Amino acid sequence: MLKRNAIVLAVMALGLGSASAADPASINWSKIKPVSIGLFYPGQSSYEWLRSPEHKGADVEVNRGDSCVSCHDEPSAEQDLGNKIVKGGRLEPVPVKGKSGYKELSVQAAYDSKNMYLRYEWKTDNPYPGTEHQYLRYDGHGWNVWGFPKLDKVVQEGKQPGIYEDRMSIIIDDGKVPGFAKQGCWLTCHDGQRDMPKQFTKEEVAANALLTAIKKSDVRKFLPDTRSNPSDWKTGKSVDEISQLKADGKFVDLIQWRAHRSNAVGMADDGYVLEWRLSDAGKDMFGGNADGKTHQPLFMFDEKKMGFRSITADSQARKGNLFLVKEENAVPFDPNAGWKEGDLIPDYIISRTDAKGSAADNNAMAAWKDGKWTVVLTRPLGLTNTDDKTLRAGGVYNVGFAIHDDNITTRGHQVSFVKTLGLGAKQKVDIQAVKLP
């Protein structure tokens, strides 16, 4: 126990030592007014569904680009939508037991000459932090993934436990993506994607010119402009046309704080959405821990530091903050260590020192206490990478928020309608970042 906590503390300290002007831990947040944002369970309310007659009396308006909140403007709109959809029905074929339809997210924002700081706070569904992620499990012969997100069939059927990290995500547009200011994240959410209606088949993906050109084996978030028919993922534009969209800034930034895979090293990941949900250039802070050929783990816990090489399903260590961190508590996997059926090793290896380039821009500090996560995201201003939105003092951005909670991924989140975020902006915005002294 003690050892593990010591590692977590060391890792937190690492996070604090990032190249930031203000130490985010010393910002006096009590001086900055929190903005409460309603997040709701959207189920399968895709770009296509919203434009169809199923969205009764609204398809014409959504097609012509009206904003969602021009109609969904009641104070309880998010609660009403989420609490209804989450129960199951036309927009949720696989209702997840106990899932909350609505979440309140508190956001505080600040900036200085180097960074923007976003302090998020929200209540988790579970009485413990969702820092656990998938494992590799020894079955007596080989190693297989153990633990899947709750919308997966194997979890629904009780064949696998539901295990997936909590996440807090923000999508940022600087006004260059047509329609984002009015319809927000729904521009990225389409039929055909994972866990959406008419989900892709492997054969369809293999036959698709764009996805084979960018070497992808499934369909994830994309922006309408990257398709010749925005309502059909199969109609991808050419790689050259998409490069031009990117050069013109017609993409959105997607920053995900991940309770397991980035939190372990005091970071948030850095990605963007254009023709797919892509990672920024460089290297993420996490990578797969399974050998591509043998599917054995690449790393295991350092027994000298942890007291164990692996854990089992009933280990106390599963109750939070167990991470396999390359520079802290991992050693190369020993295939001859006398593995027993049921031994578990994390499916991801995490490293701050391996994280490189544009993918390694964002830092974060986090704590879970009294049923709530508090996360402080640190995002540098003035980034000039071609896959980043450049934040500037005085700037105004369109943002959408999402929380993944209780062992789930894909559509199993609560999301916000689009909001405006200003960094000391002159105009009125939903969230005004305060200039730090």
d(CA 74, CA 68): 12
Question: Min. distance of Cβ 54 from ligand HEC in angstroms?
Answer: 7
Question: Min. distance of Cβ 124 from ligand HEC in angstroms?
Answer: 24
The smaller minimum CB distance to ligand HEC, of residues 50 and 245, is found at 50
Q: How many CB atoms lie within 10 A of CB 202?
A: 9
Question: Min. distance of Cβ 68 from ligand HEC in angstroms?
Answer: 3
The smaller minimum CB distance to ligand HEC, of residues 311 and 415, is found at 415
Q: Cα–Cα distances in Å, from 132 out to 147, 161, 287?
A: 10, 12, 15
The smaller minimum CB distance to ligand HEC, of residues 3 and 87, is found at 87
What is 397-429 written as a DSSP string?
EEEEEEEE-SS--TT-EEE---EEEEES-SS--
Q: How many CB atoms lie within 10 A of CB 133?
A: 24
The smaller minimum CB distance to ligand HEC, of residues 70 and 229, is found at 70
On whether the CB atoms of residues 187 and 180 are closer than 8 A, the answer is: yes
On whether the CB atoms of residues 131 and 321 are closer than 8 A, the answer is: yes
The smaller minimum CB distance to ligand HEC, of residues 58 and 110, is found at 58
Question: Min. distance of Cβ 78 from ligand HEC in angstroms?
Answer: 10
Residues that bind ligand HEC in the complex, under the rule CB under 6 A: 42, 45, 50, 55-58, 61-62, 66, 68, 70-72, 81, 84-85, 91, 183, 186
Could you tell me which residues are beta bridge partners of residue 43?
A: none
Write out the two tokens for 250: 């017609």
What is 326-375 written as a DSSP string?
TTTTEEE--TTS---TT-EEESEEE-TTT-BGGGG--EEEEEEETTEEEE
Question: Min. distance of Cβ 51 from ligand HEC in angstroms?
Answer: 9
The smaller minimum CB distance to ligand HEC, of residues 147 and 184, is found at 184
d(CA 417, CA 414): 10
Question: Min. distance of Cβ 185 from ligand HEC in angstroms?
Answer: 8
